[in-house]
Protein backbone atom coordinates (compact mmCIF):
# COMPACT_ATOMS: atom_id res chain seq x y z
CA UNK A 1 0.00 0.00 0.00
CA UNK A 2 1.27 3.46 -0.86
CA UNK A 3 0.56 6.59 1.10
CA UNK A 4 -0.52 9.58 -0.98
CA UNK A 5 -1.50 13.00 0.28
CA UNK A 6 -5.05 14.07 -0.51
CA UNK A 7 -3.45 17.32 -1.68
CA UNK A 8 -2.15 15.48 -4.78
CA UNK A 9 -5.71 14.68 -5.88
CA UNK A 10 -6.93 18.21 -5.22
CA UNK A 11 -3.98 19.69 -7.08
CA UNK A 12 -4.55 17.38 -10.06
CA UNK A 13 -8.13 18.63 -10.36
CA UNK A 14 -6.90 22.20 -10.08
CA UNK A 15 -4.37 21.64 -12.89
CA UNK A 16 -7.02 20.16 -15.17
CA UNK A 17 -9.37 23.08 -14.50
CA UNK A 18 -6.58 25.59 -15.07
CA UNK A 19 -5.75 24.14 -18.50
CA UNK A 20 -9.40 24.33 -19.54
CA UNK A 21 -9.89 27.90 -18.31
CA UNK A 22 -6.53 29.62 -18.92
CA UNK A 23 -6.69 32.63 -21.22
CA UNK A 24 -4.17 34.97 -22.81
CA UNK A 25 -1.90 36.47 -21.76
CA UNK A 26 -0.38 33.46 -20.00
CA UNK A 27 3.18 32.29 -19.51
CA UNK A 28 4.23 28.83 -20.64
CA UNK A 29 7.43 28.61 -18.62
CA UNK A 30 6.69 30.40 -15.34
CA UNK A 31 6.07 28.29 -12.23
CA UNK A 32 2.40 27.48 -11.77
CA UNK A 33 1.52 28.39 -15.36
CA UNK A 34 0.70 26.40 -18.52
CA UNK A 35 3.79 24.19 -18.90
CA UNK A 36 3.88 23.48 -15.19
CA UNK A 37 0.26 22.37 -15.09
CA UNK A 38 0.59 20.18 -18.19
CA UNK A 39 3.48 18.35 -16.54
CA UNK A 40 1.49 18.04 -13.30
CA UNK A 41 -1.32 16.32 -15.21
CA UNK A 42 1.11 13.88 -16.85
CA UNK A 43 2.82 13.18 -13.54
CA UNK A 44 -0.44 12.33 -11.77
CA UNK A 45 -1.73 10.11 -14.59
CA UNK A 46 1.56 8.22 -14.71
CA UNK A 47 1.94 7.78 -10.95
CA UNK A 48 -1.63 6.51 -10.66
CA UNK A 49 -1.26 4.22 -13.68
CA UNK A 50 -4.20 5.75 -15.55
CA UNK A 51 -3.15 4.16 -18.82
CA UNK A 52 -6.30 4.95 -20.77
CA UNK A 53 -6.02 8.62 -19.91
CA UNK A 54 -2.30 8.65 -20.67
CA UNK A 55 -3.06 7.31 -24.12
CA UNK A 56 -5.84 9.85 -24.60
CA UNK A 57 -3.45 12.63 -23.56
CA UNK A 58 -1.21 12.19 -26.60
CA UNK A 59 -2.48 15.43 -28.20
CA UNK A 60 -1.69 17.38 -25.04
CA UNK A 61 1.69 15.63 -24.89
CA UNK A 62 2.46 16.65 -28.49
CA UNK A 63 1.57 20.24 -27.66
CA UNK A 64 3.88 20.22 -24.65
CA UNK A 65 6.80 19.04 -26.79
CA UNK A 66 6.04 21.69 -29.40
CA UNK A 67 5.77 24.45 -26.79
CA UNK A 68 8.87 23.30 -24.90
CA UNK A 69 10.83 24.15 -28.04
CA UNK A 70 8.84 27.26 -28.92
CA UNK A 71 8.72 29.12 -25.60
CA UNK A 72 11.54 30.00 -23.22
CA UNK A 73 11.88 31.99 -20.03
CA UNK A 74 12.08 35.73 -20.38
CA UNK A 75 10.88 37.67 -23.39
CA UNK A 76 9.51 34.60 -25.20
CA UNK A 77 7.57 32.97 -22.37
CA UNK A 78 4.08 34.29 -23.13
CA UNK A 79 1.92 32.14 -25.34
CA UNK A 80 -0.11 33.26 -28.31
CA UNK A 81 -3.88 33.27 -28.01
CA UNK A 82 -4.08 30.54 -30.65
CA UNK A 83 -1.71 28.24 -28.73
CA UNK A 84 -3.62 28.76 -25.50
CA UNK A 85 -6.86 27.84 -27.24
CA UNK A 86 -5.19 24.64 -28.48
CA UNK A 87 -4.35 23.77 -24.88
CA UNK A 88 -7.93 24.53 -23.81
CA UNK A 89 -9.34 22.22 -26.46
CA UNK A 90 -6.86 19.39 -25.79
CA UNK A 91 -7.66 19.42 -22.09
CA UNK A 92 -11.41 19.70 -22.65
CA UNK A 93 -11.24 16.63 -24.90
CA UNK A 94 -9.14 14.73 -22.34
CA UNK A 95 -11.33 15.46 -19.29
CA UNK A 96 -14.18 13.00 -20.06
CA UNK A 97 -11.66 10.16 -20.42
CA UNK A 98 -10.05 11.04 -17.09
CA UNK A 99 -13.44 11.17 -15.37
CA UNK A 100 -14.53 7.86 -16.90
CA UNK A 101 -11.33 6.07 -15.91
CA UNK A 102 -11.40 7.61 -12.44
CA UNK A 103 -14.78 5.95 -11.83
CA UNK A 104 -13.04 2.56 -12.14
CA UNK A 105 -10.29 3.37 -9.62
CA UNK A 106 -10.85 3.13 -5.88
CA UNK A 107 -9.01 4.98 -3.15
CA UNK A 108 -9.06 3.58 0.39
CA UNK A 109 -9.06 5.79 3.48
CA UNK A 110 -8.31 4.61 7.01
CA UNK A 111 -11.10 5.06 9.54
CA UNK A 112 -10.45 6.77 12.85
CA UNK A 113 -9.27 4.47 15.61
CA UNK A 114 -8.89 4.82 19.36
CA UNK A 115 -5.19 5.34 18.73
CA UNK A 116 -3.74 7.97 16.41
CA UNK A 117 -3.64 6.53 12.89
CA UNK A 118 -0.33 8.14 11.94
CA UNK A 119 1.34 6.71 15.05
CA UNK A 120 -0.14 3.29 14.43
CA UNK A 121 1.06 3.21 10.85
CA UNK A 122 4.42 4.94 11.06
CA UNK A 123 5.57 5.30 14.66
CA UNK A 124 5.01 2.23 16.84
CA UNK A 125 7.67 3.55 19.22
CA UNK A 126 5.35 6.42 20.12
CA UNK A 127 2.58 3.95 20.99
CA UNK A 128 4.79 1.84 23.26
CA UNK A 129 7.08 4.65 24.38
CA UNK A 130 10.53 4.99 22.83
CA UNK A 131 12.28 4.00 26.07
CA UNK A 132 10.42 0.68 25.93
CA UNK A 133 10.16 -0.01 22.20
CA UNK A 134 13.86 0.26 21.37
CA UNK A 135 14.71 -2.12 24.20
CA UNK A 136 12.58 -4.86 22.64
CA UNK A 137 14.06 -7.68 20.56
CA UNK A 138 14.17 -6.85 16.87
CA UNK A 139 11.60 -9.55 16.07
CA UNK A 140 9.20 -8.05 18.63
CA UNK A 141 9.67 -4.57 17.14
CA UNK A 142 8.82 -5.94 13.70
CA UNK A 143 5.78 -7.86 14.94
CA UNK A 144 4.43 -4.89 16.85
CA UNK A 145 4.98 -2.63 13.86
CA UNK A 146 3.08 -5.03 11.61
CA UNK A 147 0.34 -5.49 14.20
CA UNK A 148 -0.27 -1.77 14.45
CA UNK A 149 -0.47 -1.46 10.66
CA UNK A 150 -3.02 -4.28 10.65
CA UNK A 151 -5.18 -2.28 13.07
CA UNK A 152 -5.13 0.67 10.64
CA UNK A 153 -6.03 -1.68 7.78
CA UNK A 154 -8.94 -3.24 9.72
CA UNK A 155 -7.32 -6.69 9.97
CA UNK A 156 -8.15 -7.46 13.58
CA UNK A 157 -7.14 -11.13 13.68
CA UNK A 158 -3.81 -10.47 11.96
CA UNK A 159 -3.16 -7.61 14.39
CA UNK A 160 -3.89 -9.85 17.38
CA UNK A 161 -1.55 -12.52 16.04
CA UNK A 162 1.35 -10.09 15.57
CA UNK A 163 0.77 -8.58 19.02
CA UNK A 164 0.81 -12.06 20.56
CA UNK A 165 4.05 -12.97 18.78
CA UNK A 166 5.71 -9.74 19.82
CA UNK A 167 4.63 -10.22 23.42
CA UNK A 168 5.96 -13.78 23.51
CA UNK A 169 9.27 -12.67 21.98
CA UNK A 170 9.59 -10.02 24.70
CA UNK A 171 8.79 -12.55 27.43
CA UNK A 172 11.38 -14.88 25.92
CA UNK A 173 13.97 -12.09 26.09
CA UNK A 174 13.28 -11.72 29.82
CA UNK A 175 13.56 -15.50 30.25
CA UNK A 176 16.91 -15.60 28.42
CA UNK A 177 18.13 -12.64 30.47
CA UNK A 178 17.53 -14.55 33.70
CA UNK A 179 17.92 -18.23 32.86
CA UNK A 180 21.46 -18.89 31.70
CA UNK A 181 21.71 -22.64 32.11
CA UNK A 182 19.47 -25.64 31.44
CA UNK A 183 17.14 -23.55 29.32
CA UNK A 184 13.97 -24.93 27.82
CA UNK A 185 14.50 -26.58 24.44
CA UNK A 186 11.42 -24.81 23.11
CA UNK A 187 10.65 -21.76 25.26
CA UNK A 188 6.88 -21.30 25.24
CA UNK A 189 4.73 -18.86 27.23
CA UNK A 190 3.48 -21.17 29.99
CA UNK A 191 6.74 -23.06 30.64
CA UNK A 192 8.78 -19.83 30.60
CA UNK A 193 6.49 -18.19 33.15
CA UNK A 194 6.68 -21.30 35.34
CA UNK A 195 10.48 -21.26 35.29
CA UNK A 196 10.56 -17.57 36.17
CA UNK A 197 8.09 -18.14 39.01
CA UNK A 198 10.29 -20.93 40.35
CA UNK A 199 13.13 -18.44 40.58
CA UNK A 200 10.92 -15.93 42.37
CA UNK A 201 11.73 -13.11 39.94
CA UNK A 202 8.17 -12.07 39.04
CA UNK A 203 6.44 -9.46 41.18
CA UNK A 204 2.66 -9.52 41.58
CA UNK A 205 2.03 -6.89 38.89
CA UNK A 206 4.02 -8.67 36.20
CA UNK A 207 2.79 -12.12 37.22
CA UNK A 208 -0.83 -10.99 37.09
CA UNK A 209 -0.42 -9.23 33.74
CA UNK A 210 1.31 -12.27 32.22
CA UNK A 211 -1.49 -14.53 33.39
CA UNK A 212 -4.21 -12.17 32.13
CA UNK A 213 -2.48 -11.93 28.77
CA UNK A 214 -2.09 -15.70 28.54
CA UNK A 215 -5.73 -16.40 29.36
CA UNK A 216 -7.18 -13.36 27.65
CA UNK A 217 -5.47 -13.44 24.29
CA UNK A 218 -2.28 -15.50 24.01
CA UNK A 219 -4.02 -18.87 24.07
CA UNK A 220 -7.22 -17.78 22.26
CA UNK A 221 -5.26 -16.05 19.45
CA UNK A 222 -3.43 -19.28 18.72
CA UNK A 223 -6.75 -21.09 18.22
CA UNK A 224 -7.59 -21.40 14.49
CA UNK A 225 -11.31 -20.84 15.04
CA UNK A 226 -10.93 -17.52 16.87
CA UNK A 227 -11.30 -14.26 14.96
CA UNK A 228 -10.88 -10.71 16.27
CA UNK A 229 -12.53 -7.41 15.44
CA UNK A 230 -10.48 -4.23 15.19
CA UNK A 231 -11.96 -3.08 18.52
CA UNK A 232 -10.81 -6.32 20.16
CA UNK A 233 -7.36 -5.90 18.61
CA UNK A 234 -7.13 -2.42 20.14
CA UNK A 235 -8.10 -3.90 23.52
CA UNK A 236 -5.25 -6.38 23.10
CA UNK A 237 -2.90 -3.54 22.17
CA UNK A 238 -3.69 -1.82 25.47
CA UNK A 239 -2.84 -4.99 27.40
CA UNK A 240 0.28 -5.50 25.28
CA UNK A 241 1.74 -2.06 25.91
CA UNK A 242 1.25 -2.53 29.64
CA UNK A 243 2.79 -6.01 29.57
CA UNK A 244 5.93 -5.18 27.60
CA UNK A 245 6.50 -2.06 29.69
CA UNK A 246 6.52 -4.19 32.84
CA UNK A 247 8.86 -6.73 31.24
CA UNK A 248 11.35 -4.18 29.94
CA UNK A 249 11.41 -2.39 33.31
CA UNK A 250 12.34 -5.63 35.10
CA UNK A 251 15.71 -5.18 36.82
CA UNK A 252 17.14 -8.30 35.19
CA UNK A 253 15.90 -7.62 31.66
CA UNK A 254 18.63 -7.12 29.05
CA UNK A 255 18.26 -6.90 25.33
Any idea what the CATH number is for the domain that residue 180 is in? 1.20.120.330
CA angle 71, 76, 82 (to 5 degrees): 65
135 and 52, same structural domain?
Answer: no
Could you give the maximum distance between any two Cα atoms of the chain, in Å? 89
153: nearest Cα among 199, 103, 108, 91 = 108
pLDDT tens sequence across 36-52: 999 999 999 999 999 99
234 and 199, same structural domain?
Answer: yes
Return d(Cα 211, Cα 192) in angstroms, integer: 12
- State yes or no: pLDDT of 63 exceeds 90: yes
| 156 within 8 A of 227, measured Cβ to Cβ | yes
130 and 32, same structural domain?
Answer: no
- State yes or no: pLDDT of 123 exceeds 80: yes
Let me know if residue 170 belongs to a domain. yes
Let me know if residue 108 belongs to a domain. no
Let me know if residue 72 belongs to a domain. yes
- Using DSSP's 3-state secondary structure scheme, residue 53 falls into helix
231 and 186, same structural domain?
Answer: yes
The mean per-residue pLDDT over the stretch 236-243 comes to 95
140 and 62, same structural domain?
Answer: no
Let me know if residue 176 belongs to a domain. yes
Let me know if residue 61 belongs to a domain. yes
CA angle 102, 108, 109 (to 5 degrees): 125
The predicted structure's pLDDT at residue 15 = 97
The mean per-residue pLDDT over the stretch 164-191 comes to 94
Let me know if residue 190 belongs to a domain. yes
CA angle 223, 224, 225 (to 5 degrees): 95
129 and 235, same structural domain?
Answer: yes
235 and 160, same structural domain?
Answer: yes
190 and 217, same structural domain?
Answer: yes
The mean per-residue pLDDT over the stretch 7-15 comes to 94
Q: Which residue among 102, 128, 154 closes a domain?
A: 102
Indicate the average pLDDT of the chain.
93
- State yes or no: pLDDT of 70 exceeds 80: yes
78 and 152, same structural domain?
Answer: no
199 and 140, same structural domain?
Answer: yes
152: nearest Cα among 129, 107, 105, 119 = 119
- State yes or no: pLDDT of 4 exceeds 90: no
Return d(Cα 89, Cα 29) in angstroms, integer: 20
Least confident of 10-14, 76-80, 90-94, 238-242: 76-80
Number of structural domains in the chain: 2
Structural domain including 57 reads 6-102
Could you give the count of Cα atoms lying within 13 Å of 35 in the half-sphere of its Cβ?
18
Q: Which contacts of 83-88 are long-range, i.e. CB under 8 A and separated by 24 or more positions?
A: 84/22, 84/23, 84/24, 84/26, 84/34, 87/19, 87/22, 87/34, 87/38, 87/60, 87/63, 88/19, 88/20, 88/21, 88/22
Let me know if residue 111 belongs to a domain. no
pTM above threshold 0.85: no
Phi, psi (rounded to 5 degrees) for 228? -125, 140
231 and 147, same structural domain?
Answer: yes
- State yes or no: pLDDT of 73 exceeds 80: no
pLDDT tens sequence across 198-228: 999 999 999 999 988 888 888 888 788 889 9
Q: Which residue among 102, 134, 164 closes a domain?
A: 102
Q: Which residue among 48, 67, 102 closes a domain?
A: 102
Let me know if residue 235 belongs to a domain. yes
| 162 within 8 A of 240, measured Cβ to Cβ | no
236 and 144, same structural domain?
Answer: yes
Amino acid sequence: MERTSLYDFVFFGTSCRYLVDVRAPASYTASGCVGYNIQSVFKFLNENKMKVSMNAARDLYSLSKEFDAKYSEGENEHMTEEDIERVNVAMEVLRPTILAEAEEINAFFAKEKRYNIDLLYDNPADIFGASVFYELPESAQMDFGEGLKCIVLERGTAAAYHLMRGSEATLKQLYLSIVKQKRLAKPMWGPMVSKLEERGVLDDALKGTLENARRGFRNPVAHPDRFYSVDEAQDILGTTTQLVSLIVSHEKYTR
